[in-house]
Homo-oligomer: A and B are copies of this chain.
Amino acid sequence: MLSKKTQYALKALGYLAGKYGQGPVLISEIAKNKKIPIKFLETILLELKQNNVLESKKGKGGGYYLIESPKKTTLAQAIRLVGGPIALLPCVSINFYEKCKDCNEATCGLNKAMLQTRDATLKILEKKTLAELIDG
């Protein structure tokens, strides 16, 4: 299961995708429409900015907005940016890999099964982009 943080990030990115090209969007607007705790959302958006997905503008008329077209960012990229692993186990994760203490990956049946599910999941998440998150 994705963490709340990751879920909120995806929701927020979807909202911003729908407003792409229309200038900065207020944090409070995103929070209200997507039912996200505003202070938690602040830290998430800030992190996305530091990862060069969002840009922000301060002061009156400010807010957050996508740097690139929504079609340029895949869901797999978005999930990884906010620290959400996609694989079900560390030993089959690409970005959060950790070796198992107890098993030989070449012969471990669990490893094999989880590798297959990871690949199936990635196949989907690497094709979908933020544009697909726009409502309607």
Contacts and interface: CB of A to CB of B under 8 A. Distances in A.
B124 A1 contact: no
Contacts of A44: none
A117 B124 contact: yes
A54 interface: no
Contact of A135 (B101, B109, B135): B109
Contacts of A116: 124
Interface in A1-33: 1-2, 7, 10-11, 14, 33
Contact of A136 (B85, B89, B96, B107): B107
Interface stretch (A45-53, A55-63, A126-134): A126-134
A35 interface: yes
A128 B101 contact: no
14 contacts: A1-B87, A1-B89, A1-B90, A1-B93, A1-B96, A2-B88, A7-B89, A11-B110, A103-B135, A108-B135, A113-B124, A117-B125, A120-B120, A120-B124
